[in-house]
């Protein structure tokens, strides 16, 4: 028996988005979990988990995208009269305070974006924080200090979660980037409030990563890059059941090429995953899914900006990466082939760069693929931190249908896994 896309064991069905026709037509899509749209928050203390894990340099925010992504939900709650308490992590502190990971600069920036005062608490739990929260008026907001300054956050300690929930009666999770973690601020707090709901950001993530991929318009093409086959083996397995074609670039393509017997020189690859790569290719062929690997590779002797590069001959004609060379990008013929495939697609999911795009000398493959995705008339979904970074680098964000805010979370959702931060929310 399966109900609302969840198996009796509590696992989400792969690709299911829990459609529920009882939801109003005003909703962009339907979910079995309570939405921020369903809440009445006037004069109520609301705890909201946001993803303010922004990059900092010398105490200054270098990219406020994640703060801006949370604004629709924050403004909705404040306009509804909530006494809003925000919590988030930042960086990777080891369960104790570290000044460089303080959220204080975020509070300042959030206040600028909201054009109102944002109070800041120097901790996320404790008597002083409780007292500050008690002074909040309707339409006011406070940002708590980094939740990962306490070891109880990552281990989902019950006492920590209860203290974080405090006197809040409602919890809103809008931190999709951490929804795949069962932490105190994502899962634990839901056991200490009356209602828990998803924010607009999570709602939109699920709309694109679930609803729109439930029955994708075809051809459905997936572009995968990055370093390791092992990191994406599960999502590849899931996509073989759904996609028409998989384009594979980045260092993970080197593993496949190596498995096929091609000489890859000093290229980054997983030699111990050769059998796994060949098994994937065999399964794809059996299922009628085309896997496109680079037919040539751009390589260098020096891993630095301005280094000399050249492209191998096509592998079908004996091309190889020399012993003292390293593959750092897909080659020119591969770019042409990949872009042709992208142009014919009607649904595209892109996760992972084609090479070391961070250096301009090695960026051509990623740049051209990004442009091809942007120029496509297909539904285009971009996920994964490096892919998103590439889209921003080339100013192509406005040309994409949707850019996901969660790397690990989006991959796990594509794999058909349960996201604890969503599963814990109140059922409709």
E-assigned strand segments in 331-378:
347-351
If you compute the radius of gyration of the chain from its CA atoms, what whole number of angstroms results? 23
Question: Is residue 273 among the annotated active site residues?
Answer: no
Residue tagged 């369903």 (tokens): 38
Catalytic one of 322, 385, 393, 417: 385
Catalytic one of 49, 66, 148, 242: 66
3-state secondary structure 390-412: HHHHCCCHHHCCEECCCHHHHHH
Question: Is residue 408 among the annotated active site residues?
Answer: yes
Q: How far apart are CA 322 and CA 335, in angstroms?
A: 21
Q: How far apart are CA 186 and CA 199, in angstroms?
A: 13
Question: Is residue 346 among the annotated active site residues?
Answer: no
- Long-range contacts of residues 13-19, Cβ cutoff 8 Å, at least 24 apart: 13/416, 14/238, 14/241, 14/415, 14/416, 15/210, 15/213, 15/214, 15/238, 15/242, 15/416, 16/210, 16/214, 16/416, 17/206, 17/207, 17/210, 17/211, 17/214, 18/210, 19/211, 19/214
Catalytic one of 91, 126, 237, 408: 408
Question: Is residue 100 among the annotated active site residues?
Answer: no
Catalytic one of 23, 109, 228, 283: 228
Would you give the distance in Å from CA 404 to the centre of its chain? 5
Q: How far apart are CA 61 and CA 105, in angstroms?
A: 7
Q: Which residues are catalytic?
A: 66, 228, 385, 408
């Amino acid at each position: 028996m399966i109900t609302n896309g969840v198996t009796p064991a509590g696992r989400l069905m792969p690709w299911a988005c829990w459609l529920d026709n009882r939801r109003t037509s005003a909703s962009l899509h339907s979910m079995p979990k309570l939405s921020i749209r369903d809440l009445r928050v006037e004069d109520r203390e609301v705890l909201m988990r946001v993803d303010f894990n922004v990059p900092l340099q010398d105490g200054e925010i270098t990219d406020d995208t994640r703060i801006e992504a949370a604004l629709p939900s924050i403004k909705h709650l404040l306009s509804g009269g909530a006494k809003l308490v925000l919590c988030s992590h930042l960086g990777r502190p080891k369960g104790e305070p570290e000044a460089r990971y303080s959220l204080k600069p975020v509070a300042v920036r959030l206040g600028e974006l909201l054009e109102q005062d944002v109070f800041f608490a120097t901790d996320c739990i404790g008597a002083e924080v409780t007292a500050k929260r008690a002074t909040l008026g309707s339409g006011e907001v406070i940002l708590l200090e980094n939740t990962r300054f306490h070891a109880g956050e990552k281990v989902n300690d019950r006492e920590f979660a209860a203290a974080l929930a405090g006197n809040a009666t409602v919890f809103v999770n809008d931190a999709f980037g951490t929804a795949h973690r069962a932490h105190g601020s994502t899962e634990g707090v839901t056991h200490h409030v009356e209602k828990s709901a998803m924010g607009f950001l999570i709602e939109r993530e699920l709309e694109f990563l679930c609803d729109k991929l439930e029955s994708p318009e075809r051809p459905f093409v997936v572009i995968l890059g990055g370093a390791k086959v092992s990191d994406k083996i599960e999502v590849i397995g899931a996509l073989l059941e759904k996609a028409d074609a998989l384009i594979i670039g980045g260092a993970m393509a080197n593993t496949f090429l190596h498995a096929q017997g091609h000489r890859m020189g000093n290229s980054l690859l997983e030699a111990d995953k050769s059998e796994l790569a060949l098994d994937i290719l065999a399964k794809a062929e059996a299922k009628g899914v085309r896997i496109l690997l680079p037919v040539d590779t751009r390589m260098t002797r020096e891993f630095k900006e301005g280094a000399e590069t050249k492209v191998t001959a096509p592998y079908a004609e004996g091309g190889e990466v020399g012993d003292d060379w390293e593959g750092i990008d897909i080659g020119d013929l591969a770019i042409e082939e990949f872009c042709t495939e992208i142009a014919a697609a009607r649904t595209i999911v892109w996760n992972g760069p084609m090479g070391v795009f961070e250096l301009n000398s090695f960026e051509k493959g990623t740049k051209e693929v990004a442009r091809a995705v942007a120029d496509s008339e297909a539904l285009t979904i971009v996920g994964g931190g490096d892919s998103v970074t590439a889209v921003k680098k080339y100013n192509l964000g406005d040309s994409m249908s949707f850019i996901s805010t969660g790397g690990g979370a989006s991959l796990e959702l594509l794999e058909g896994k349960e996201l604890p931060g969503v599963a814990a929310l109140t059922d409709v």
